[in-house]
Every structure is written in structure tokens, then in C-alpha cells.
Structure 1
Amino acid sequence: MPVRLREFRLEDLDEVMRIELSSFPFDAYDELTFIQLYESCGDLFLVAEHEGGIVGYSVTCVEWENGVPVGHVHSIAVDPAFRRRGVGRALMEETFRRLRSLGVSEVRLEVSVSNEAGLRFWRSLGFEPVGVEKGYYADGSDALVMRMRLM
């Protein structure tokens, strides 16, 4: 399925929120969080368009750990009607390309230990579990911390 990737714009917020709420109904980011991520992450906040509508997004920031830049995937979601068609993979591959151009050699993320589809997706991209964050989510559930080397 052909999608066009581009950087997020504030006028995309309603469509991103629609996808966020359909993907994470119990632990969704709010609009203010997305605006803050947009201001912090800039051109690493991407959307995927298909036939004029947004069908997915990803937001990653560069953070510093021990003086080294590390990519941190804050969120990714694809409209349920467009899942398993390569949209998420395309978003992440473009994110990885941009991170490499910034000299980032490692990416990390947190994913719910009960999110089997998410765990499969991240493993298929090369992420490996490195720890658990107890009580990470609003409902008290744990997150698996995963990392991947880019270079």
C-alpha cells in the first residue's frame, strides 16, 4: 500500500488524536502531550498519508544518556483499518534513517508487556528487551524496555 511520509504539522493534530484514541483507548496521550512532543522532537514526528488522510504517525525524540544521543520512540500508531500493511514499518525505517543522519546509534522504547502485536513488531525490527519498568502505565501495568543498535 503506497503511503507518503512527511513531518507532522499542527493541523494534523485532530487526525493523530483519532488514531491515538483508537489505538490506546485507556492510556492515550492528550493533545497537549502531542504539542509538547512536536516542540521537542521536531522532524522526528512523522505522519503517514494515504489518499489525503493520515493513516499513522510516529514520534521519536533524541535524548542524551551519559553524554550519548539516543533515540526514544515515544509513540507510534496506525489506523486500525491500515494495520499490517507496512505503514508502521515505513514510519520506523524513515525514523531510523533520520536518526542515523544525526549520529544516533541506539534507539529505545517502552511497550506494554501485554501488547503481543507490539512486541512482535518491535522484535521484527531488531529491538531486544533490556529491562522492565514496573507500573509504567496509568493502569499500573508494566512496560518492557527495548533497545536496538542502529549502526
Structure 2
Amino acid sequence: MDKAFHKKGLGQEVVTELLSIVEQAGLHEVRANVSMKNWAALRFWTKVGLNSISGIYGDKEHGIENFADMELVKYLK
């Protein structure tokens, strides 16, 4: 989403509707892979309900040149 539209709740609205459609389709979970250095994205995805961690992948040590991702999951009904 373009930065001009950030912080207006539009992304949350889109993802909430998408999660509803996915659940109606009979799927049981949704996953997102998010960089651990991307605090804004981590906050966003946990806010929309992807708040279980299913794995952490990437470099084992923290550093400016190191990267790791966290796989977040929302279990649907």
C-alpha cells in the first residue's frame, strides 16, 4: 500500500475482509512471513490476528547485515 495511505486503517480493513473470505472458503489457517527487523509489519500482522509464531528462519545471530523472518499464523474456525 502506498505510504500516503498508511496509518488510516485501510490495510487492516482489507486484510480483515480477506481473512473473512478465506475462512468462508473453508481454510483453517493463514500465515505471513515477516522480517523480524520490520517492527511496523510485525505490529500490523499481530493486530489483525496473526499472533501465533510457527517458526523463525534466517541468521542465528543478530547483526546489521543479518536477517531473520518470523512466520505468524492465525488459526481460523
Q: Normalising TM by the smaller chain, what interval?
A: 0.7 to 0.9
| 1:130 positional shift | 2.1
Q: TM-score, normalised by structure 1?
A: 0.44
CA–CA distance in structure 2, aligned partners of residues 132 and 121 of structure 1: 18
The residue type paired with residue 114 of structure 1 is K
Select the residue among 98, 121, 130 that pairs with 2:54: 130
* Number of residue-to-residue matches in the alignment: 71
Deviation track 1:27-57 (CA, whole Å, cap 9, x = no partner) reads xxxxxxxxxxxxxxxxxxxxxxxxxxxxxxx
Matches within 5 A, 1:31-46: none
Matches within 5 A, 1:2-151: 78-127=1-50, 128-134=52-58, 141-151=67-77
Q: What's the secondary structure of 2:8's corresponding residue?
A: coil
Greater strand content: 1
Query: 1 or 2 for the larger relative contact order (CA 8 Å, sep ≥6)?
Result: 2
In the alignment, structure 1 segments of 5+ residues that lack a partner are: 1-77
Q: TM-score, normalised by structure 2?
A: 0.81
CA–CA distance in structure 2, aligned partners of residues 106 and 140 of structure 1: 29
Segments ≥4 residues shifted beyond 2 Å: none
Q: What's the secondary structure of 2:27's corresponding residue?
A: coil
| 1:140 positional shift | 5.5
The residue type paired with residue 101 of structure 1 is Q
What is aligned with 1:15? none
In the alignment, structure 2 segments of 5+ residues that lack a partner are: 60-64
Identity of aligned residues (%): 30
